[in-house]
Amino acid sequence: MIAPSRLSSEQKKISTLLLSAPKTAEALSKQLGIPYDRLLQELKGLIQLKLIEARGSPLQYSLVTSVQEESLRRQELAREDEFRLRLRVVIEAQSIESELLQKQLNSLTDSMKKEPDFTVYDSFIAKIIELKDPQKYSGYVEATLTVRDFRALIRLMYFYGPISVEVLAPEKMDFSLPELQDGLNDMAHMIQSYNDYVISLMSRNELNQFYNKLFARAPDTQPVPLRDSSNPQ
């Protein structure tokens, strides 16, 4: 599986056009309005990624069988999908152990696919890299999915913590008042629960330092200490 973000806009257009039938470079250039020399470079890149193949005389380009089947699967999934809000997300994770991180990324992907309010179209787990300073490992999951509603979107953002979110569709979307209220209440509860947990682990000085960093004030004013009712000392 190749992450969609690795493809150029021209390569995405070429792949979409090849869904219907194999085509020559000349036909692709004419239909897509891409200069012939540049089109050949894009085709070369798609061949290197093993997404397309070239056969026959005159030479025709077509999607490889596995890509064709995957495209048909996605089309069928889209026809049955009732969720309208489509996103592409990148979720990063880090660990001090490479094997543990791989398990975490696999578990994260499996968990997303089991969510009843998500429809995952594709997911790609990037190769884990080692960070030198500090010494630990980093990896990420890139996924394309739809979510049922605003409440499901809040769940995605809070429990999966994507570092990047791209809204693919629709151009405009309306939320009902109850839907918006339920989502915001879920968000408020999640934030408060996390806040309570963090406060329980910090001293008063640490809380005040965190407060000063979070709410930076003008140099000529004194910060107001953050009070923790559970720790009066």
Place of tokens 């089947």: 69
Q: Is the dihedral of CA 39, 44, 49, 50 positive or negative?
A: positive
For 170, the token pair is: 């629709």
pLDDT (tens digit per residue) in 134-158: 789 999 999 999 999 999 999 999 9
> What pLDDT sits at residue 217?
57
Residues 4-68, CATH architecture: Orthogonal Bundle (1.10)
For 148, the token pair is: 């049922």
Q: To the nearest whole percent, how much of the chain has pLDDT over 90?
A: 76
> What pLDDT sits at residue 135?
84
Taking the C-alpha atoms of residue 109 and residue 92, their distance in angstroms, rounded to an integer, is 12
Domain boundaries along the sequence of the chain: 4-68, 82-174, 175-227
- Judged against a pLDDT cut of 80, whether residue 225 lies above it is answered with no
For 35, the token pair is: 């200069």
The strand pairing partners of 143, in sequence order, are: 89, 123
CB 25 within 8 A of CB 40: yes
CB 118 within 8 A of CB 112: yes
The model's pTM is 0.78
- Judged against a pLDDT cut of 50, whether residue 226 lies above it is answered with no
DSSP designation for 78:
H
- Judged against a pLDDT cut of 80, whether residue 233 lies above it is answered with no
pLDDT (tens digit per residue) in 59-95: 999 999 999 999 889 999 999 999 999 999 999 999 9
CATH code given to domain 82-174:
3.30.70
**Band (133; pLDDT cuts 50, 70, 90):** confident
- Judged against a pLDDT cut of 60, whether residue 163 lies above it is answered with yes
Taking the C-alpha atoms of residue 196 and residue 173, their distance in angstroms, rounded to an integer, is 34
Q: Which helix (H) or strand (E) holds 43?
A: helix 36-48
Give rounded-to-5 percent helix, strand, coil for the chain. 50, 20, 30
> What pLDDT sits at residue 218?
47
Taking the C-alpha atoms of residue 188 and residue 185, their distance in angstroms, rounded to an integer, is 5
Taking the C-alpha atoms of residue 44 and residue 2, their distance in angstroms, rounded to an integer, is 16
165: CB partners within 8 A, 6+ apart: 87, 88, 89, 157
pLDDT (tens digit per residue) in 5-49: 789 999 999 999 999 999 999 999 999 999 999 999 999 999 999
